[in-house]
Structure 1
Amino acid sequence: MEQAIVHVLAMNVGSSSIKFATYDIAGEQARRLHGKLDRVESPGTTLTFVDSVRQQRASRDVGELDHQAAMTLLIEWLALQVGFASLLAVGHRVVSYGDPRLVTDALLEELRRITPYATEHLPSEIGLIERIRARAHAASSGVFRQRFSPGHAACRENPARSSAPYTSMGLTPAAGVPMSTRSGDLDRGLVGFLARTKQMTAAQFHRMVNHESGLLGVSETSADIRDLLDREAHDVRAAEAAALFCYQIKKWIGAYAAALGGLDTLVFAGGIGENAPVIRVRICEGLSFLEIDVDPARNERDEPLISAASGRVAVRIIRTDEEITIAKSVVLLLGAKT
């Protein structure tokens, strides 16, 4: 009976997670199954899912998986849970630019060509597309995005008020705010310095700034902010990593406030922004000169509006649902009725 229902599957590959969701394309495009593989590339990889049809909710440890092993596990699990024969289409988030489009051999070749611009994302995303195309007799479409978690970026809205960039990231995601394993902005002179003093090659430097820096590099123990907050009371490096993270985001808020000529709304989103009250407070501390003030009780309850009545700037938590955006884009792209 399950096989007769036509679904759209949304796949969302990130730096440390793979999220997924299936939607019944009839009516309101109801979400039937959703979940994620979390802590990919780290100890304690977990598979968490909610099945609204079977009324199941579960989370289980699946060991320490890299992206390739995580994709293999997830594809086989989805084949059992959903059945690829029931899929009308599969939508993928792809690090790139442009509008959503159908995946073709030519498009995959183009994505391979531009892989040097996003070597940490495109190979695994291309690999997942190819593996699902081989299993599912369904149309695949790419939904082109550039927002990550636990990769972190500060971004601004209202381009009419400034010509500043939309995001703190630069040519690659390694620029901007420090991330789980990415350095964030660095002095360009560091490249030559390390080449002279440590004989560091370009490949070694690339690995350092993408895989060995950020929260992991400073703390020397974990790339996950949850671990660092648990340890910071007795681990000075964990405390330094969390403090650096908050400080750098605060700097970007100040920079964009200057570029915009002020702020109306400050939004927290993504895994950390939505689920870490202490991080939100630390970021907002000292920003009262911008009329940003957080209500402690609202913040602890993760309310949609967490700003205090005394603050002119609205501080909001907006929960991200990239999977429904992917699914809707797929339906529109295929010309299906919404």
Structure 2
Amino acid sequence: MNILVLNCGSSSLKYRLFDMASETETAQGLAERLGTAQSRLEHVAFPGTPGETRRVVEEPIADHAGAVALAFAHLTGPGGPVRQASDIGAVGHRVVHGGWRFSQPVVIDAVVEEGIREVIPLAPLHNPANLTGIAAARDRFPDAPHVAVFDTAFHQTMPEHAFLYALPYELYEKYGIRRYGFHGISHSYIAARAAEMLGRPLCECDLVTVHLGNGDSVCAVKKGQSVDTSMGMTPLAGTIMGTRSGDLDPEIGLFLERRAGMDEAAVDDLFNRKSGLFGICGSSDMRDIHRRREAGDARAELAFAMFAYSIRKYIGAYIAVLGRVDAVVFTAGIGEHDPATREAALEGLSERGIVLDLKRNRAALGRAMEIGREDAPVRVFAVPTNEELQIARQTLQTVNAPGAS
């Protein structure tokens, strides 16, 4: 079965096509700046193979429907991996927030669309775009089953004592205020990969998974299930990130409104887009921060130290939550490619059985490797994530499940 995976942003559309018989990616693309004169689509057929072809189209693309139509034209064009719409057996959609409604992937129907719409207040920038992409794709591929795969679903196994905030309980009942967590598709993928590398069933593994990119989160995985995670009701909570503050005293927002005259929008912009690494040193790109550190830039050194410390705190906390740990697993842009961050994040954890092999750690640049010392009780891995393949796998499982419509 060919499965098309779609990830819709407010003005973008990412897509991947997989032949699930071999789990081979046969095409990928990105349409961006939709609705502007600068819109463009880049399409790659058979990526990473000798037969790879790349096309760039720079022309007005009005909306997500136009982007889906253009992507389909490239998928079925000369030399494309499919010939017609019926060659696509299912479409998997990444949906950022499933709220309290969705704890697993589901075949999309009107009820599911309404459920996604119901939790828009929890993800006002993401879920509307996801719904727009779903509508466009269902129009283009009306005969294929469409599956929603939620970035929050993996964390729905958290126990109540972990996901609730110490606020009046009726606020949870009335408004759904609780910890949801994000990056669940990535955490679930790398947890499964770590189990393979351990040579054990996932249901027997206790892991701390660490997703480090521009947004970061840490997850405690007990017997294959998420039992706690660093992000909260929104992606703002948890570790320091590229431009997000991570955990902070909630009174700070009120203080800034009272003393600095900032309104709600300004505080939101400050916490989400002007804080984190960027707020400390003026850059959110870890490569730039490392260059500045090497040049003796004290502010860059401070930002890096704060970043690593915030990760280390969560790793330590989740070791306590799990009681025992089989492995710590790093992934995403920084987690896969940055040995210095991995080294700093694990500093001082040798008494907890976590010891890096420095040579292997520095060799792990975007490929799956064991990077811990061989005689250490807790193993350490760097594993490239593949959220699109995980969505395709979950889409296939969902449409093949008994009773799927």
TM over 0.5: yes
Q: Is structure 2 residue 2 aligned with structure 1 residue 7?
A: yes
Q: Is structure 2 residue 136 aligned with structure 1 residue 123?
A: no
Q: Is structure 2 residue 17 aligned with structure 1 residue 22?
A: yes
Aligned alpha-carbon RMSD (Å): 3.7
| Aligned twin of 2:222 | 158
Question: What residue ranges of structure 2 are gaps of 5+ in the alignment?
Answer: 35-39, 77-83, 153-181, 184-212
Contact 1:11 1:21 in 2 (8 A): yes
- CA distance in structure 2 between the partners assigned to 1:16 and 1:257 by the alignment: 39
Distance 1:251 1:142, change over 3 A: same
| Aligned twin of 1:144 | 150
Distance 1:266 1:199, change over 3 A: same
Q: Is structure 2 residue 392 aligned with structure 1 residue 334?
A: no
| Aligned twin of 2:291 | 230
- CA distance in structure 2 between the partners assigned to 1:15 and 1:285 by the alignment: 39
The alpha carbon displacement at 1:7 in A equals 2.5
Contact 1:46 1:61 in 2 (8 A): yes
Contact 2:10 2:129 in 1 (8 A): no
What do the CA deviations read for 1:151-205 (whole angstroms, capped 9, x no partner)?
Answer: 21111122799xx952011111111112222211111110221111022222322
Please give the residue correspondences for 1:112-261 in structure 2 after superposition, counting only pairs within 5 Å.
Answer: 112-137=117-142, 138-146=144-152, 147-148=182-183, 149-158=213-222, 165-221=227-283, 223-234=284-295, 235-261=297-323
Contact 1:94 1:125 in 2 (8 A): yes
Question: Which amino acid in the other structure matches residue 225 of structure 1?
Answer: M
Contact 1:182 1:213 in 2 (8 A): yes
Distance 1:261 1:230, change over 3 A: same
Contact 2:9 2:129 in 1 (8 A): no
The alpha carbon displacement at 1:128 in A equals 2.4
- More displaced stretch, 190-199 vs 228-237: 228-237
The alpha carbon displacement at 1:266 in A equals 0.8
Report the TM-score, using the length of structure 2 for normalisation: 0.67
The alpha carbon displacement at 1:220 in A equals 2.1
| Aligned twin of 1:55 | 51
- CA distance in structure 2 between the partners assigned to 1:61 and 1:297 by the alignment: 43
- CA distance in structure 2 between the partners assigned to 1:12 and 1:335 by the alignment: 22
- More displaced stretch, 97-106 vs 277-286: 97-106
Question: Which amino acid in the other structure matches residue 55 of structure 1?
Answer: G
Contact 2:43 2:71 in 1 (8 A): no
Q: How many residues align?
A: 319
% identical aligned pairs: 33
- CA distance in structure 1 between the partners assigned to 2:300 and 2:55 by the alignment: 27
The alpha carbon displacement at 1:17 in A equals 9.0
Contact 2:12 2:30 in 1 (8 A): yes
Question: What residue ranges of structure 1 are gaps of 5+ in the alignment?
Answer: 1-5, 63-67
- CA distance in structure 1 between the partners assigned to 2:275 and 2:331 by the alignment: 23
Contact 2:95 2:150 in 1 (8 A): yes
Q: Could you list the structure 1 runs, at least 4 aligned residues long, displaced by more than 4 angstroms after superposition.
A: 13-19, 35-38, 45-50, 57-62, 68-74
Question: Which amino acid in the other structure matches residue 195 of structure 1?
Answer: E
Contact 1:154 1:168 in 2 (8 A): yes
- CA distance in structure 2 between the partners assigned to 1:166 and 1:76 by the alignment: 40
Contact 1:92 1:326 in 2 (8 A): yes
Question: Which amino acid in the other structure matches residue 87 of structure 1?
Answer: I
Contact 1:16 1:150 in 2 (8 A): no
- CA distance in structure 2 between the partners assigned to 1:77 and 1:58 by the alignment: 14
Question: Which amino acid in the other structure matches residue 154 of structure 1?
Answer: V
Please give the residue correspondences for 1:75-86 in structure 2 after superposition, counting only pairs within 5 Å.
Answer: 75=68, 78-83=71-76, 85=85, 86=87
Report the TM-score, using the length of structure 1 for normalisation: 0.79
What do the CA deviations read for 1:7-44 (whole angstroms, capped 9, x no partner)?
Answer: 2111245899965321225x334331246689x9xxxx
